[in-house]
Amino acid sequence: MKKIFVALILLTLMLTGCGSEKKDDGTLKIVTSFYPMYLDVMNITRGVEGVEVVNLTPPQTGCLHDYQLTPEDMKNLEGADILVVNGLGMESFLDKVTAENPNLKIIDASDTPDITPIMEDGEPNPHVWTSITYSIAQVKNINSKLCELDPARAEKYKRHTLDYVDELTTLRDEMHMSLEMLPNKDIVTFHEAFPYFAAEFGLNIVAVIEREPGTEPTPQELAETIDKLNTLPNKVIFTEPQYSPKAAETIARETGAKIFELDPIVTGEAKPENLLDYVDRMLNNTVTLIKALQ
């Protein structure tokens, strides 16, 4: 009898704890998988009453190839109404969690006919947000799906989406004017984050140093990159702020190449004041490319 009584107390405590995980106060909680999705959703929902946006992954996390969910991540997901992901395999670490949470509404930002994935070894390259045209398509798609799921706030979402799309369109036009006349278009990048960016602005990726971030290139891969770089009239290598430039520095010593930093905008502080961080950092990328390729 005593054991049954203790068990009932524990059960009551557990149920009470579960009930406190999520308050039924009408707040719509949207969780974004990583920083580019956070920026999109924040620009769509900025200032809309009753909407909370939480970014899932830490600000220092790069591309999500090997990301492991933490207990804090699980807590955020359990309390979420909507999860916004980039898609195209970027968030494969979430597959099991989303399968076990059938009530969680998922918005796949890349699930739109306006985006044509670049295929690599039979798999889609997921870094579509580095193309401003595709970033605009993602913003429009997120807005459309969000309006369907939350029609009461749809008009505000639509208005904010138009404003942000205007910002991105102006950014794209300015970057095209700045980059289209560059005399050199051949670049060597750190990893496969920039095919969409290169396609947008007519750049030619001659070589990629690390196919997967954190995976050191083999001696043969290093030699091949060095050979390709030595054929270029303008020897430059672009590293990324999220990763160690060690391999790039090795190649630079062998070739005399200069190193510049190109930002795929995959990390950042999830703060409301950073709403235009994508725009600002793309403009910084423009300045970097002009310096490197003139």
All structural domains of the chain, each given as residue ranges with its CATH number in brackets, are 25-175 (3.40.50.1980), 180-293 (3.40.50.1980)
Residues 6+ apart with CB under 8 A from 250: 222
The token pair that represents 14 in the structure block: 């557990």
Question: pLDDT tens-digit profile of 259-286?
Answer: 999 999 999 999 999 999 999 999 999 9
Number of H helices, E strands in the chain: 10, 10
Q: What is the DSSP string of 14-58?
A: HHHHHHTSS--SSPEEEEESSHHHHHHHHHHHTT-TTEEEEE-S-
Phi and psi, residue 232, nearest 5°? -90, 140
Residue 76 has, within 13 A of its CA and on its CB side, a CA count of 19
pTM: 0.89
Question: pLDDT tens-digit profile of 175-208?
Answer: 999 999 999 999 999 989 999 999 999 999 999 9
112 vs 115: CA distance, rounded Å: 6
Question: pLDDT tens-digit profile of 115-174?
Answer: 999 999 899 999 999 999 999 999 999 999 999 999 999 999 999 999 999 999 999 999
Instruction: Please count the other Cβ atoms lying within 10 Å of the Cβ belonging to residue 247.
Output: 20
